[in-house]
């Protein structure tokens, strides 16, 4: 799985394998791309959380993996 963070307007990608974890810094927008069947535990603060639409393309290593809209 790839976690892409927006750090000062630049993408910062963190690749995670089985059993690995990351903590996203507070206030840093991020998006998660999964390759194949994946289970994750995500904990998100509710107060002050800002949701925004994704405007970039998926990382090239995820090409060929269906988006949520394309998945069965």
Q: What is the pTM of this model?
A: 0.65
pLDDT tens per residue, the chain (72 residues)?
999 998 888 889 999 999 999 998 888 888 898 888 888 888 877 777 777 777 666 655 554 545 555 555
Nearest to 27 by CA among 45, 4, 3, 39: 45
- Per the listing, tokens 């998945």 go with 71
Joined together, the tokens standing for residue 18 give 């089985």
Alpha carbon distance 30, 4 (integer Å): 5
What secondary structure does DSSP assign to 3-32, as a single string? Answer: EEEEETTEEEEEE--TT----PPTT--EEE
């Amino acid at each position: 799985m790839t976690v892409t963070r927006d750090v000062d307007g630049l993408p910062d990608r963190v690749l995670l394998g089985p059993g690995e974890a990351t903590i996203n810094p507070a206030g840093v927008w991020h998006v998660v791309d999964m390759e194949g069947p994946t289970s994750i535990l995500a904990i998100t603060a509710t107060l002050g959380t800002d949701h925004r639409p994704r405007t970039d393309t998926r990382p090239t290593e995820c090409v060929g993996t269906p988006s949520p809209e394309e998945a069965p």
